[in-house]
Chain A
Amino acid sequence: MNCRRVQKLMPLYVEDDLRPALADRVGSHLEWCGKCNWLADDYKESQSWLRASTPREFDNALLDSVKNGALAQIAAAKQRPLRWAAFAEHWNRRQVFALSAAALIIVATFVIYVYQTRVKDSRSVEAVEKMPDEMPPYDRAPNLSGATKTAPEASFPPQRSVSKRTPHSLKGFARAGVPREKLDVAQSEAPVPSDAQRPDVSSDSKDMLRIEIQTSDPLIRIIWFAPRESDSPPTKPATD
């Protein structure tokens, strides 16, 4: 073992903090190395100096003040009410219940609102994504016979979001029993013209008069069928 290694281990060697095997090796080195012996003496003196000073004597008055102070703090901590207890002091049981119920209702309302908003948005996005690439123009002349061919019904699943937007007064159109294969459902991504509600009257069919009204919403078009030869008012409106 060289001097450098011994000097490194010396602080532990002087207080017997080394493992016995290592301490023996340091000891055998010190038997012949004068320089390391000097270092060992220096460390021993330093340790003696550190231990020589008697610890500060604390008088009984100070010790009593420590004890009494600690006991007083403990007593104060015992008497201090808990936070919820302090809260309960100002509110009786019924008020706490009412407050909790109100808070619960507010939270539940908020959660439902957020959930419905998300569902609505996701359905709208889904509907737009499912639109066919080639759409007939919204003001294309209707063709009752080829309606199902140009805009297959299967490509437009029933959309609640659309029907929700239908005015209440037009809901009867949907219930009127117009065969869906005769409805020309046309949707377009083209910008809506200013005269959005311009009626589109077509007369391709022999026995039915068809009136299409494009609403400001490109997803909603009102299609009105009426018997051609009859003077009676249209009874089977439908929306889609």
Chain B
Amino acid sequence: MPGEVADIALMTESLGLGDSSPNALSSLAPVIERAKGGDMAAFEQIIEHHQRRVITTAWRMLGNSEDARDAAQEVFLRMYKYLRGFRSDQDFAAWLYRIVINVCRDHARIRSRHSGFASFEVEQELGSFDSLASTGNIESEMIQAQQRAMIDQALDTLSKKERAAIVLRDLEGMSTEKVAEVLGSSQTTVRSQISSARAKIKKYRERILNQTTRMK
């Protein structure tokens, strides 16, 4: 069983995005069918295959790893709950991304109700980047972490819909058509959201660059 998962993972890695490619989907189809029939081993395979992408997307949407982990668990719980309703002719990746986006929206709503978001500094205080110390090149990792935090802050300037659209289109590399399918919007709406989001991100980057230039 683990060998089968490794094969799928290897194949999808070689295909880049993998999840939405026809080959990967056709190889995953029997596993999904078995999972639909209540096979927990098959369901576990699907989790192992998608969990990295799910948690990364959730992290990009929510901006901190604690929320991303909780959201990922919720995603798989909902996936189990609604897998019987998944049709074979549907795109599984798009279907899963839709769950991810919905769960992240719910988490963001709850978070905004209770408190603000966990910023880069907060994550440092909580020790979320402890794992960085174990790696060899601490300096480059810290720069990467700082840049990720800046991008997270840039994404925070966007509305929820804009953030979802830009994460799926520019960071996950989905086509506009697929993004529209996942978000349940028209392509025109998605293009408008993407356009607005890119303009805001450019503006934010210019502001950051101006600040650093002044400091120097």
Residues of A within 8 A of B (CB): 11-12, 14-15, 17, 42-43, 45-47, 49-56, 58-59, 62-63, 65-67, 69-71, 73-74, 77
Residues of B within 8 Å of A11, CB to CB, are 194-196, 198-199, 202
By beta carbon, the residue of chain A nearest B131 is A59
* Docked complex Cα distance between A148 and B42 (Å): 94
B97 CB within 8 Å of chain A: no
Query: What are 20 pairs between A and B in contact, CB < 8 Å?
Result: A11-B196, A11-B199, A15-B170, A17-B195, A50-B151, A50-B201, A51-B171, A53-B148, A56-B148, A58-B52, A62-B69, A63-B55, A65-B69, A66-B69, A66-B76, A67-B47, A70-B73, A71-B44, A74-B80, A77-B77
Q: Is B36 an interface residue (CB 8 A)?
A: no
Q: Across the interface, do B170 and A54 meet the contact criterion of CB distance under 8 Å?
A: no
Closest to A51 in B: B170
Annotate B147-168 by CB proximity to A: 1 below 8 A, 0 otherwise. Answer: 1100100100000000000100
Contacting pair B60 A55 (CB below 8 A) = yes
Residues of chain A within 8 A (CB-CB) of B44 are: 67, 71
A52-B59 contact, Cβ under 8 Å, with A12-B194, A69-B73: no
**Complex interface bits, B190-216 against A, C-beta within 8 A gives 1, otherwise 0:** 010011101101100110000000000
Chain B residues with Cβ under 8 A from A43's Cβ? 198, 202
Using known A-B contacts A11-B198, A50-B201, A67-B48, determine if residue A74 contacts B77 with beta carbons closer than 8 Å: yes
Contact-residue size bin, chain B (C-beta under 8 Å from the other chain)? 35 or more
Does B144 reach chain A (CB closer than 8 Å)? yes
Cβ contacts under 8 Å, B196 to chain A? 11
A73 & B73 in contact (Cβ 8 Å cutoff): yes
Contact with A along B124-164 (1 / 0, CB 8 A): 00000001000000000000100110010010000000000
Q: Answer whether residue B65 sits at the interface, using C-beta atoms and an 8 A cutoff.
A: yes
Highest count of chain A CB atoms <10 Å: which of B47, B171, B194 = B47
Chain A contacts for B12, CB-based, 8 A: none
Q: A14's closest neighbor in chain B, by CB?
A: B198
Instruction: Give the residue among B44, B48, B72, B154 with the most A Cβ atoms within 10 A.
Output: B72
Which 4 pairs show the lowest CB-CB distances between chains A and B?
A70-B76, A11-B198, A46-B202, A11-B195
Contact of A17 (CB < 8 Å), options: B52, B55, B65, B194? B194
Taking a contact as CB atoms under 8 Å apart, the answer to whether B77 and A73 are in contact is: yes
A47 touches B191 (CB 8 A): no
Contacting residues, chain A, for B60 (C-beta < 8 A): 55
Known: A17-B194, A77-B77. A54 touches B144 (CB 8 A): yes
Q: How far is the CB of B41 from chain A (nearest CB, A)?
A: 11
Q: With the chains together, A70 CA to B205 CA distance in Å? A: 38
- Measured between alpha carbons, how far is A101 from B6 in the docked complex, in Å? 60
Q: Mark B40-57, 1 if CB is under 8 A from A, else 0.
A: 100010011001100110
Contacts of A54 in B (CB 8 A): 144
Q: A46-B202, A70-B76 are in contact. List 19 more A-B contacts (CB 8 A).
A: A11-B195, A11-B196, A15-B169, A15-B170, A42-B206, A50-B154, A50-B166, A55-B59, A55-B171, A56-B65, A66-B51, A66-B55, A66-B72, A67-B47, A67-B51, A70-B77, A71-B40, A71-B47, A73-B73
Once A53-B151, A54-B144 are accepted as A-B contacts, the answer to whether A17 and B191 lie under 8 Å apart by CB is: yes
**A47–B198 contact, CB under 8 A?**
yes
Contacts of A14 in B (CB 8 A): 198
In the complex, A62 Cα to B199 Cα: how many Å? 35
